[in-house]
């Protein structure tokens, strides 16, 4: 720590509530990553989208940045399809990154009835991308020495001069600010807001990504050029094309992203879905290879009973589905002295808004701008004041859009379902940011294309 900090009582945060033991001076020297320049240094916990965006934006403003990712292996193979909102594209362009050919351009949405006919359709431009491709663009833009894998963050200590991050291997790192960008299960958030936890929304998403070449020609002709929906009572199926591996946009090399939202009661159905065939119940989510075989069989049988024939054929092609329980997460605060949380560590909205990565970029931009203009503690409070209302607005919108999918509904949920759970509303309102960015649609469409 900088000279003079010993006179100031340090505040320590640990998951178990125990005070972090101070190592002997020699050990601290061996295990401490100290500042090597007079430039300000940001310690970013979490190396996914939010962490990379924050690192790049702060680095462009003259900060030294270090990203600490818990997972040992590269994250590029994770995730599925995302709708690249115009705001995200604008942020990437401002960073000087290549924004051409980020995804598959679509121009329409349609709704299938149970017999496979088109019951409704609208024109709407989209840029459908793969999570892994956007991640790779960001990852390659950050210098390799700034990104450290296999670093499990456990605690932090802060005082008026700086912040120290503690890791599971006993090492520490010093900086001017610490940014929690470590997602839904954020350790940073748990340390700062131990009472805040994800709230199950009452339904799950079955997901899969298929090679374009696997689709039968008739199905490809009927579905691949649009974002296609199928509504069932209390359920929704949606599918759309995304880039192929390594951002491949060549016909025949792209992929087809599939999502099926289904209600699941929290007391009985959700635990059954998260309990593998060896009897182990997994918290929050379950790895695809461990999803119980009975649950997959029931999903496949339901597809044959309920879905439009085109989507029945698509489900038959799925080899190993993914299961995603849907959660709401809303943090009442974002700033804690020299520490802040951003992205999914702060707010997680249901997927229907398609705001996750765009919100992460907006969070990172607001954070970098605030830190560029003021001292750390004041800047983080300014960031919080700007982004808290936005996070709350996105959460509320996503709850409105997903209310008709919940296994259990309140009177307010039923009222929302009556407004949104109809074909015309689903087509018009899903995955749009007009409620947050009141700009002329023509301007947003131009950016998206």
> Per-residue pLDDT averaged across 198-227, rounded?
97
Query: Rounded mean pLDDT of 113-117?
Result: 96
Checking if the pLDDT of 34 tops 50, the result is: yes
- Higher-pLDDT residue of 7 and 257 is 257
Q: What is the dihedral of CA 397, 402, 407, 413, to 10 degrees?
A: 50
CA distances 109 to 121, 239, 260, 418, Å, are 6, 10, 16, 21
Whether 68 and 12 map to the same domain: the answer is: yes
- List, in order, residues 6 or more apart from 228 with CB less than 8 Å away: 109, 110, 111, 112, 238, 239, 240, 310
Residues 244 and 340 both lie in one domain = no
- For 104-198, strand residue ranges (E) read 104-112, 118-130, 147-149, 153-159, 162-167, 172-175, 177-180
Query: How far is 226 from 5, CA to CA, in rounded Å?
Result: 59
In the listed set 271, 305, 324, which residue is the last one of a domain according to the structure? 324
Question: Which residues touch 178 (CB under 8 Å, ≥6 apart)?
Answer: 42, 43, 44, 45, 156, 158, 163, 165, 188, 338, 339, 340
What distances in angstroms separate CA 207 from CA 100, 135, 233, 237, 273, one per listed residue?
Answer: 27, 19, 19, 10, 14
Last residue of a domain, one of 324, 340, 374: 324
Same domain, 279 and 347: no
Boundary residue ending a domain (305, 324, 343): 324
Nearest one of 285, 317, 241, 287 to 82, comparing CA atoms: 241
In a domain, 348, yes or no: yes
| 56-99 pLDDT per residue, tens | 999 999 999 999 999 988 775 555 888 999 999 999 999 999 88
More confident residue, 447 or 176: 176
Q: What percentage of the chain reaches a pLDDT higher than 70?
A: 89
Residue 101 counted as domain residue: no
Answer yes or no: is 92 within a domain.
no
pLDDT for 10 equals 57
Q: Which of 11, 383, 356, 363 is nearest to 192 (CA)?
A: 11
Would you state the pLDDT for residue 37? 59
pLDDT digits (tens, 9 = 90+) for 36-54: 557 899 999 999 999 999 9
Torsion of CA 87, 92, 98, 104, to 10 degrees: -40
Q: Examine the domain organization and report whether 317 and 355 are in the same domain.
A: no
SS3 322: strand
CB 109 within 8 A of CB 122: yes
Q: Which of these ranges, 25-39, 113-127, 247-261, 421-435, has the smallest mean pLDDT?
A: 25-39
Inter-residue contact 224 to 212 (CB < 8 Å): yes
What confidence category does residue 275 fall into, taking pLDDT thresholds of 50, 70 and 90?
Answer: very high
- Do residues 214 and 320 share a domain? yes
Residue 69 in any domain: the answer is yes
Same domain, 353 and 421: yes
Please enumerate in sequence order all residues whose Cβ is within 8 A of that of 446, keeping only pairs 6 or more positions apart, or say none: none
According to DSSP, residue 115 is labeled T
What DSSP element (H or E) covers 271?
A: helix 269-273
pLDDT score of 30: 37
Residues 260 and 219 in one domain: yes
Query: Does residue 117 register a pLDDT over 60?
Result: yes
Look over the chain and give the mean of its residue pLDDT values, rounded to a whole number: 89
**pLDDT value, residue 73:** 81
Are 226 and 238 a contacting pair, CB within 8 Å?
no
Q: What's the pLDDT score for residue 359?
A: 95
Q: 387 is in which domain, residue-wise?
A: 5-77+135-197+328-448
In a domain, 143, yes or no: yes
| End-to-end Cα spacing for the chain | 49
CATH number of residue 319's parent domain: 3.30.9.60
Name the residue among 387, 385, 405 with its Cα closest to residue 395: 387
Min mean pLDDT across 114-118, 223-227, 331-335, 406-410 is at 406-410
Q: Looking at the 3D structure of the chain, how many domains does it have? A: 2
What residues contact residue 198 under an 8 Å CB cut-off, 6+ apart? 184, 284, 327, 328, 329, 348
- Do 151 and 238 share a domain, yes or no? no
Per residue in 277-326, pLDDT (tens digit) is: 999 999 999 999 999 999 999 999 999 999 999 999 999 999 999 999 99
The token duo for 360 is 């992460």
Q: Are residues 345 and 292 in the same domain?
A: no
User: Which of the four pLDDT bands, split at 50, 70 and 90, describes residue 434?
Assistant: confident
On whether both 175 and 73 belong to a single domain, the answer is yes
Q: What is the chain's percent helix, strand, coil content, to nearest 5?
A: 40, 25, 35
pLDDT value, residue 11: 64
- Does residue 412 have a pLDDT over 90? no
Q: What's the whole-number mean pLDDT along residues 129-139? A: 93
Q: What is the pLDDT of residue 339?
A: 98
CATH number of the structural domain spanning residue 412: 3.50.50.60
Question: Are 304 and 173 in the same domain?
Answer: no
pLDDT per residue over 365-379, tens digit each? 999 999 998 899 999
pLDDT of residue 374: 82
Determine the Cα–Cα distance for residues 387 and 400; give it in Å rounded to an integer: 20
Extended beta strands in 233-358, E state:
235-242, 255-263, 322-330, 335-336, 339-341, 347-348
Question: Each residue of 318-370: pLDDT tens digit?
Answer: 999 999 999 999 999 999 999 999 999 999 999 999 999 999 999 999 999 99
- Based on the domain organization, do 345 and 403 belong to the same domain? yes
């Amino acid at each position: 720590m900088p000279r003079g900090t010993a006179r100031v009582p340090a505040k320590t945060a640990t998951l178990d509530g125990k005070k972090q033991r101070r190592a002997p001076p020699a050990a601290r020297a061996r295990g401490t990553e100290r500042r090597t320049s007079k430039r300000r240094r940001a310690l970013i916990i979490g190396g996914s989208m939010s962490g990379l965006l924050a690192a790049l934006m702060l680095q462009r403003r003259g900060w030294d940045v270090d990203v600490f990712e818990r997972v040992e292996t590269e994250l590029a193979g994770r995730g599925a399809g995302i709708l690249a909102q115009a705001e995200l594209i604008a942020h990437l362009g401002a960073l000087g990154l290549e924004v051409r050919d980020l995804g598959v351009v679509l121009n329409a949405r349609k709704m299938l009835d149970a017999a496979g006919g088109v019951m409704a359709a609208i024109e709407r431009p989209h840029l459908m991308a793969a999570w892994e491709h956007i991640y790779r663009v960001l990852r390659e833009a950050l210098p390799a020495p700034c990104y450290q894998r296999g670093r499990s963050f456990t605690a932090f200590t802060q005082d008026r001069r700086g912040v120290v991050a503690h890791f599971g291997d006993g090492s520490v790192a010093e900086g001017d600010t610490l940014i929690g960008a470590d997602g839904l299960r954020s350790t940073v958030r748990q340390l700062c807001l131990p009472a805040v936890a994800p709230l199950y929304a009452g339904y799950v998403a079955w997901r899969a990504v298929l090679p374009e070449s696997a689709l039968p020609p008739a199905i490809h002709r009927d579905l691949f050029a649009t974002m296609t929906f199928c509504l069932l009572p209390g359920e929704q199926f949606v599918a759309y094309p995304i880039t192929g591996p390594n951002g491949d946009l060549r016909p025949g090399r792209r992929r087809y992203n599939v999502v099926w939202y289904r209600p699941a009661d929290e007391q009985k159905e959700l635990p059954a879905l998260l309990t593998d065939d060896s009897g182990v119940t997994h918290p929050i989510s379950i790895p695809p290879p461990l999803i119980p075989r009975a649950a997959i069989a029931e999903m496949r049988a339901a597809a044959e009973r309920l879905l439009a024939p085109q989507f029945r054929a698509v489900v038959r092609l799925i080899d190993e589905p993914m299961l995603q329980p849907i959660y709401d997460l809303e943090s009442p605060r974002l700033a804690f002295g020299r520490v802040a949380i951003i992205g999914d560590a702060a707010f997680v909205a249901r997927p229907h808004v398609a705001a996750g990565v765009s919100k992460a970029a907006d969070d990172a931009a607001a954070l970098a701008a605030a830190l560029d203009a003021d001292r750390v503690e004041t800047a983080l409070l300014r960031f919080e004041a700007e982004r808290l209302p936005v996070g709350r607005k996105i959460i509320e919108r996503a709850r409105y859009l997903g209310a008709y999918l919940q296994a259990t509904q309140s009177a307010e949920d039923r009222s929302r379902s009556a407004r949104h759970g109809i074909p015309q509303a689903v087509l018009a309102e899903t995955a749009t940011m007009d409620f947050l960015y009141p700009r002329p649609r023509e301007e947003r469409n131009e950016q998206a294309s």
